[in-house]
Amino acid sequence: MKRPIVTIFGFCVCYTFILTTNSFSQANAKLADNPFLNYTGSEQGKFKILFNGEQIGQEKFQILGDGSNFKASAEIHLTVEREKEKVTFYLNPTLQFTRRFEPISYQVVQEAGVNKTKARINFKPGRSEAVYETGQEKDSREIELKPDVLVLDDNVFHHYILLTRRYDFLKGGLQEFPAFIPQQFLAGSISVDDKGLERVTLSDRTLSLQHLLVDSGELQFGLWLNERHELLKISVPKSNIDVERE
């Protein structure tokens, strides 16, 4: 059964996920419940964002230790055409999470010219609290989420690094994860399957990369990782979007 999308932010340039609930039975998908998979270390870098082969933006991200927890943040800009005029959107997301990948808080600020929107989520046992602000308007909501829910927000690509860290390569096969899209206030599930090694061309180099296929129920897209399981490429064929590590 699919949940309807509740649009909070009116901007989604790259893709729109429709997460599914109960989309795979436990006979087909292995639950991601390995207690030994923890986040460690730190990571930073840049992604270039391509639409129909043309660069339309960039994401500069970092995932660092924050006391006993971790913080993932980014500076993102995307330029799109609206009513025959080019508009640049700026996004600043910040996610705090535990070493067990449990989210603590999330905030994303989006700006385009004089327009500014903000979403803040405090993740709590039971029902999490979300506040959405647009100008002088404020909308408060509550939602029931699993403690280890994946935050996979629209147009925030480094979140998929955390997804790849959650995938258990020793177990392999089809694995299912709970997921939440803050900008859409939408919760559901996604599945990830290991498709093995593939030859991929990046920046005039041909590499042998691990291919993970992600299925949200309505949309499929690929993630490609190197031998250190670093995310180098995201491809959303249905939306003609490619995201490549610089």
pLDDT tens per residue across span 149-169:
999 999 999 999 999 999 999
Q: Is 79 exposed, middle or buried (0-12, 13-18, 19+ CB in 10 A)?
A: middle
Structure tokens at 212: 């993970």
Report the sign of the C-alpha dihedral through residues 8, 9, 10, 13, in that order. negative
Which residue from 183, 192, 233 is spatially nearest to 212, judged by alpha carbons? Answer: 192
In this predicted structure, which of 19-33, 52-66, 125-139 has the lowest mean pLDDT?
19-33
What DSSP string runs through 192-229?
A: EEEEEEEEEEETTEEEEEEEEEEE-SS-EEEEEE-TT-
Rounded to 5, what percent of the chain is helix, strand, coil?
Answer: 5, 55, 35
| Banded model confidence at residue 35, pLDDT cuts 50, 70, 90 | low
Distance of CA 99 to the CA centre of its chain: 18
Residue 67: per-residue pLDDT: 85
Model pLDDT, residue 36: 56
Domain spans of the chain, in order of start: 30-245
Residue 164 is which amino acid?
T
Q: What percent of the chain is modeled with pLDDT above 70?
A: 85
Using alpha carbons only, give the angle 44, 49, 52 rounded to the nearest 5 degrees. Answer: 160
Q: What is the pLDDT of residue 16?
A: 46
CA angle, residues 108, 167, 171, in degrees to nearest 5: 165
